[in-house]
Structure 1
């Protein structure tokens, strides 16, 4: 409750609001007393702070399950494989999280959030246990499925945290959550340290995730008590069964099926099956049909609880343009976590230095640490969200041009650019979360609205990863024969060129030793040819990324900053444990 001026009692208190009219009227009352004097900012109670801390821990746990398995993927395959299905250990994370974060957010809007978040933490805890004790690639894929299922619920933390604080503190809360990810930002380096120093190797990563997820579940159970089902429906008096019958079941299946088929097709393309095969084309086409059908169904289905409320998509400046921005931001963020470790390992890192490899893999996360300071110390307090958003999208698009110019000897430029790109890539997400939530007509839609931002970001990452990996692998395959032939021409190589070309695929001392007629000069030239070919391949990838960045810039320019009147003392919900006796 806001404190009153000396000698007076405040005539208002912080209450939940559910629509724009309530928010606007309350925004005026919440900042003025009855004599017109300004009321001091509301206080956040200890119970709310502990609930926020549990949500921050959940976000950290979620990031660890994303980052650490991806960092040790090759080691898992070497230990339990080789199995061509091993990339699905992390692919399933994206599949599950992309779908669940929106579906779970909508269900939580209707039924209450507490048990959905506890389900997510529990599922991820079980996933970590399965991964830590896994004896086959198939078991590790099951662990990835559980991580993705749990991660989808856990990414709801951004909506959950915002509704617990006064509107004026929403951006500050988001900034604090992003700032708190300093520990998880060292996930790749921690993973490589486990590989090098732990007797159980990569399994230590999963036990580490298990500890975080279990602690998160305990914290949520004791401290996170948002409005219950009964509280959310005190006015309409509907039962759970009534709401289940009124749910958008058809839309739910169309959305789930469309997302899964799209992500499956993208992840199969160029890896498990050729891009022109029916295995790739059919899922993508069916996904497109599902999304078109979903659009018509949501608009014309006369639904009480649509899975994708059409009223959100009609607000281009407050919602839809932000989906486009976050889709492209996701294309860069998640793809950089795939591209940079590969690029740095090929061009700059000694093959036998595990810790240095981990340091380079961690460069993207170093950028997010810098961004965390900005998001907490600057972003919430300067306003002008549209200008902030546009600046960061322009900056990272421009910096991608610098990535396209990186050569074999440009180590310093590469490191500086990657860190800066990552620092520019993160702020658009909390900015978008806050802009969307404070632009809603009805705060009861916050779960699905923020969830869709996350879904678009995850799908953007999946789309980019597929496109970019396909580009650099095909460009490399086309260029390496000519570059290799030119580089080894004067090294005295007398053996079979096809055998040498085959050896470059592994690029190990053992593979070169099997090539007849080879000599040290030829090996050195072959390794240089590989680097030159990959430099050209990555250049094309980054030039393509610039085109996507231009689309994001145009979308960012069309957004709208949050009205100052919306940054009031009004608060969407309060914890059940904060209610006074007799209050509903």
Structure 2
């Protein structure tokens, strides 16, 4: 095993004068002193017994985990609930030309804000930030549920994205830091598994929208977030920020990297906005696309230089790279697996809607999306448990998971208009594989970093995952748009002419209607059910000829994840019995 993987003892944190660096650390988070004490005590049998006693699941710990579970659920379900009924929302408030921002409006702030929040969380503690985030999510939910136009609805999704990012970060970080390192996967897996009742969120959303109004989804989401808020307020009391070294709150606030926060938020937001506009709304060579892309890249580069050379107390300190090889490998796997997952998260529901959904049964889309959540959760929990019991085989576990993810994505390229039954097997594989890679890599990153930077490293993995997903989305959408433009002429335009539509303008309008699955509008151009069915079939054939190239592209990301996983070092030495934070 490489010596660089050895977890440092307290002696390694001493400076040349023999003083502890820990006491001078800018990251005076709630875990610093505790983590140092734990690292002093490893090795003896008596200390192992003490750690075992300290890590018992007490009533206090159980209530903390319960609060974190509700925060986790509240952070995950907004996108699935609202995006799952986006056609119904669009039909009510308009905004078909901006529908992709329902998803990206939630993801972009999540990626841009979480790195900044990670540092604040480590400095000031989890509780206040979690309470504020839960309130922000509730406000965003109210904005979405009462919106009359799409722009207001997107604003609500942005607010919920900010809140969800903080809540996801808090839930995973707290579950991780209160568990022994060797059992961290089990604790985090237990919290993740609590979202299982909401795995059919798309189905729930369809049921609510069809039988009442889509706006009542706000009650379901609001109820979950409110319970999490109350439990956090009354049951979650983490150790407070360490101010005993003589620093006041004002002095600690002065150490927050506000410049780095601005550069990261602005850079990530502009970069992903440019990718989105270039993929769908504007040409890649237009000013609408190039301006945010170039400016975003420039700000991200400036952020990197600022963190390395300018910031006295950077958002991502050098201590995160204690094991450079492991850290870099995990970040690469997280980014490319995030891109691979976006083929399922974004493309599969729309593909199912265009190629397989029953126009007379709106809930069929929800049924077709069930494997995504269930299998992603299953993959996450299974691998997290395996990591806890097979600590010396983590590299093999991640490699196999990457292979399963890539194989499933590639197999979905075989989807045709009449073989839906054969597609559920690869769909299960890719969702299971994505879950088995993305969440476990977050746990690996938390194990190899110092205990007082757990929230920071979780924030970094979330941002890298979303950024990779945004890049993947831009590539996939560009490919789909290009391929579908050709297939639409071959299949839909031909079917329109055969149905008796001769006016080129009307043919173009029919192509647009078929592409958006607006089947009832086709009766304005044709007069028999047979003609409508022929146009619908032509649309499905056009999509069936286009989507395979999206999945071919995803194989490249999956292959990169497999190669990167081969360089993951042995992690067993990090998986010991120490606990980052004790909740008595």
TM-score bin (small chain): 0.7 to 0.9
Query: Which of 149, 159, 169 is the matching residue for 2:173?
Result: 159
Following superposition of structure 1 onto structure 2, how do residues 267-278 of structure 1 map, counting pairs within 5 Å? 267-278=276-287
Contact 1:17 1:23 in 2 (8 A): no
Counterpart-to-counterpart distance in 1, 2:576 and 2:79: 35
TM-score normalised by the chain length of structure 1? 0.88
Q: Paired residue for 2:19?
A: none
Q: Does the residue aligned with 1:96 lie in a helix, a strand or coil?
A: helix
Query: Which of 403, 408, 414 is the matching residue for 2:412?
Result: 403
Deviation by residue 1:246-274 (Cα, 9 ceiling, x = unmatched): 33232222111111111211222243322
Deviation by residue 1:351-403 (Cα, 9 ceiling, x = unmatched): 12112221012231131243255246544222222211111111111222211
- The Cα shift of 1:497 comes to 5.3
Query: Which of 43, 46, 56 is the matching residue for 1:28?
Result: 43
- The Cα shift of 1:307 comes to 1.2
CA 377–515 in structure 1, closer or farther in 2 if over 3 Å, else same: same
Contact 2:329 2:568 in 1 (8 A): yes
Deviation by residue 1:26-51 (Cα, 9 ceiling, x = unmatched): 2313xx028x9998564121101110
Counterpart-to-counterpart distance in 1, 2:124 and 2:340: 34
Following superposition of structure 1 onto structure 2, how do residues 488-503 of structure 1 map, counting pairs within 5 Å? 493=500, 495-496=502-503, 498-503=505-510
Please tell me whether residue 431 in structure 1 is matched to residue 444 in structure 2: no
Contact 2:372 2:428 in 1 (8 A): yes
TM-score normalised by the chain length of structure 2? 0.88
Counterpart-to-counterpart distance in 2, 1:270 and 1:484: 23
Q: Paired residue for 1:506?
A: 513
Contact 1:16 1:570 in 2 (8 A): no
Following superposition of structure 1 onto structure 2, how do residues 159-558 of structure 1 map, counting pairs within 5 Å? 159-197=173-211, 199=212, 201-229=213-241, 232-234=242-244, 236-301=245-310, 303-313=311-321, 315-371=323-379, 373-375=381-383, 377-383=385-391, 384-440=393-449, 442-484=450-492, 493=500, 495-496=502-503, 498-507=505-514, 508-515=518-525, 521-558=530-567
Counterpart-to-counterpart distance in 1, 2:142 and 2:31: 39
Please tell me whether residue 132 in structure 1 is matched to residue 132 in structure 2: no
Contact 1:178 1:375 in 2 (8 A): no
Deviation by residue 1:104-152 (Cα, 9 ceiling, x = unmatched): 1111111211101111111111211222222332331221121011112
Contact 2:51 2:579 in 1 (8 A): no
Counterpart-to-counterpart distance in 2, 1:305 and 1:492: 68
Q: Paired residue for 1:10?
A: none
Please tell me whether residue 146 in structure 1 is matched to residue 159 in structure 2: yes
- The Cα shift of 1:227 comes to 1.7
Deviation by residue 1:400-421 (Cα, 9 ceiling, x = unmatched): 2211122222211212211221
Counterpart-to-counterpart distance in 1, 2:105 and 2:31: 38
Please say which of residues 264-273 and 348-357 is displaced more in the overlay.
264-273
CA 419–533 in structure 1, closer or farther in 2 if over 3 Å, else same: same
Contact 1:99 1:259 in 2 (8 A): yes
- The Cα shift of 1:337 comes to 1.9
Counterpart-to-counterpart distance in 2, 1:85 and 1:219: 37
Please say which of residues 20-29 and 61-70 is displaced more in the overlay.
20-29
- The Cα shift of 1:89 comes to 3.4
Contact 1:385 1:431 in 2 (8 A): no
CA 366–58 in structure 1, closer or farther in 2 if over 3 Å, else same: same
Query: Which of 99, 118, 122 is the matching residue for 2:112?
Result: 99
RMSD in angstroms over aligned alpha carbons? 2.5
Query: Which of 13, 24, 49 is the matching residue for 2:62?
Result: 49
Deviation by residue 1:152-203 (Cα, 9 ceiling, x = unmatched): 2112121121112222321111111222220221111111111122x2x111
- The Cα shift of 1:479 comes to 2.1
Question: Structure 1 unaligned runs (5+)?
Answer: 1-14, 579-584
Q: Paired residue for 2:25?
A: none
